[in-house]
């Protein structure tokens, strides 16, 4: 019965709802590297080759064959991001103008610009992880992982004019993956895992109404603010593969591949406030139950090396290539809101399409790390890295104002008892300042443009408990 200890842990975590927490992305775009608490201290250098704990079931399932007993890993990372938008926000919609000739009125686009807008978008988030491995035979092992490979949360709130472009944007991907590792020879192993991904997405903003009176200055009355809330979810499927080769007991190399996963999100769109009542016969909210979008989460390949120089030092490295080019255009369909109408200026609709050009490019992530072993029970970790952003300057938006980043990391392991180990890690992310001036975001009758810059950084604090079950 000991092989089913994992089931109780999964039950507890699901009941607590911990895997419903979104996270601000700390890797290129909304890809996350924090699938365990220990490797944060090396900035995941060597993660497909070290195979030092049960998280290898996710990083490289071929490493499962290194374990002679059951092991459970429970880890988590706390992410504290701090980024700020500074710039202009322009809102364009149709307004009514008087003219001196019949029909004496004209409907034309009007733009109102908020200058010198400042909005804070960072906050605190948690990324949990759970891993388990057990040998089945001398050459075959089983692994099981629950983690968050992709996540994003930006929240600018509703107190600044940036609310007309975006308030809350989030995506959380929970991956549940059983896997197997098989030792082909005494030095070579292969592995494979099946990925079941449950994904949740939210895309929110606020619509405002430019004063249509031909006798007054054009302004946006905050009392007209109407909230657009769009939520959807989906279950997708994929796989991951791995191979591990041990040149010597102190040197090994690993390669792993995580497949693309396509998500067909479906959900609801809710438009609530003064504009909704204006266009919907005084009834608010206006609701669409047919909101949907498709998102292709990219495939990525990792090559890692682990080499123990002597009893006190080890060197680690990883190079990860992510095929982000599959993420080209995001189309939000079935959105509830207001659309242009030649007679009444605006009218209601539950079938709006919002198109956001992304045009992501493929990226590299490079990390180098070292382990220092001062005693048999202590490991001191360190690492540095470079993470290339897939976002091109011409399409960077406030929903995800990402840019290239540089990373430093430190961490440590303490073997508290023969069967229980504790890990801590810290990463600081230096993010280059980024210009934000994408094509206008058109949502029905309203078009919003942003022209500014985003600056900031982030810190990641991780912890992990490793339990070896005899």
Could you name the CATH architecture of 2-469?
Beta Barrel (2.40)
What residues does each domain of the chain span?
Answer: 2-469
Strands 261-273 and 226-248: antiparallel
pLDDT value at residue 80: 87
pLDDT value for 12: 37
- With a cut of 50, which residues of the chain have pLDDT below it? 1-25
Question: Tokens in use for 32?
Answer: 């996350």
pLDDT at residue 215, as a whole number: 62
Burial (0-12, 13-18, 19+ Cβ within 10 Å), 312: exposed
- Is the distance from CB of 350 to CB of 380 less than 8 angstroms? no
pLDDT of residue 202: 94
pTM of the model: 0.90
Q: Could you tell me which residues come within 8 angstroms of residue 82 by beta carbon, excluding any fewer than 6 positions away?
A: 120, 122, 456, 457, 458
Element at 145 (helix H, strand E): strand 140-155
pLDDT at 16: 33
**DSSP string over 77-123:** EEEEEEEEEEEEEEEEEEEEEE-SSTT-EEEEEEEEEEEEEEEE---
Residues 151, 121, 441: CA angle, nearest 5 degrees: 85
Q: What is the pLDDT of residue 108?
A: 74
Q: State the pLDDT at residue 106.
A: 63
Q: Residue 97 has what pLDDT?
A: 60
pLDDT at 213: 63
What's the confidence (pLDDT) of residue 105? 55
Q: In this structure, are strands 300-310 and 286-297 parallel, antiparallel, or unpaired? A: unpaired
């Amino acid at each position: 019965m000991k092989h089913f200890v994992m089931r109780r842990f999964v039950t507890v975590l699901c009941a607590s709802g911990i895997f419903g927490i979104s996270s601000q992305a700390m890797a290129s775009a909304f890809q996350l590297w924090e699938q365990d608490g220990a490797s944060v201290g090396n900035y995941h250098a060597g993660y497909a080759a070290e195979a030092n704990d049960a998280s290898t079931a996710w990083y490289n399932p071929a490493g499962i064959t290194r374990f002679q007993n059951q092991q459970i890993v429970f880890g988590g990372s706390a992410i504290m991001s701090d980024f700020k938008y500074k710039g202009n926000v322009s809102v364009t919609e149709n307004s009514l103008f008087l003219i001196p000739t019949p029909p004496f009125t004209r409907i034309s686009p009007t733009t109102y610009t908020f200058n010198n807008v400042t909005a804070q978008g960072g906050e605190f988030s948690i990324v949990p992880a759970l891993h388990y491995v057990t040998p089945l035979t001398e050459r075959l092992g089983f692994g099981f992982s629950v983690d968050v490979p992709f996540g994003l949360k930006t929240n600018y709130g509703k107190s600044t004019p940036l609310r007309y472009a975006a308030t809350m944007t989030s995506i959380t991907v929970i991956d549940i993956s059983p896997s197997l590792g098989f030792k082909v020879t005494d030095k070579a192993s292969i592995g494979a895992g099946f990925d079941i991904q449950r994904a949740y997405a939210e895309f929110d903003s606020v619509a405002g109404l430019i004063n249509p009176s031909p006798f007054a200055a054009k302004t946006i009355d905050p009392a007209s603010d109407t909230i657009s809330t769009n939520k959807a979810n989906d279950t997708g499927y994929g796989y991951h593969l791995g191979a591990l080769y041990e040149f010597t007991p102190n040197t090994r190399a690993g390669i792993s591949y995580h497949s693309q996963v396509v998500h067909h999100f479906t959900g609801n769109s809710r438009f609530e406030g003064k504009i909704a009542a204006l266009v919907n016969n005084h009834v608010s909210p206006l609701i669409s139950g047919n909101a949907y979008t498709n998102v292709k989460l990219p495939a990525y390949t990792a090559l890692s090396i682990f080499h123990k120089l002597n009893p006190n030092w080890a060197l680690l490295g990883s190079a990860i290539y992510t095929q982000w080019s599959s993420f080209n255009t995001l189309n939000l369909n079935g959105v509830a809101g207001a659309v242009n109408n030649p007679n009444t200026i605006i009218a209601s609709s539950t079938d709006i399409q919002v198109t956001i050009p992304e045009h992501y490019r493929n990226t590299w992530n490079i990390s180098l790390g070292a382990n220092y072993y001062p005693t048999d029970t202590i490991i001191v970790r360190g690492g540095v890295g470079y993470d290339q952003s897939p976002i091109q300057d011409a399409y960077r938006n406030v929903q995800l104002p990402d840019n290239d980043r540089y990373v430093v990391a430190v961490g440590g392991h303490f073997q508290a008892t023969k069967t229980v180990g504790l890990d801590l890690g810290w990463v600081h992310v230096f993010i280059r300042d980024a210009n934000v001036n994408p094509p206008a975001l058109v949502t029905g009758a309203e078009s919003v443009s942003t022209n500014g810059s985003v600056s900031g950084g982030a810190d990641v604090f991780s912890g992990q408990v490793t339990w070896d079950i005899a």
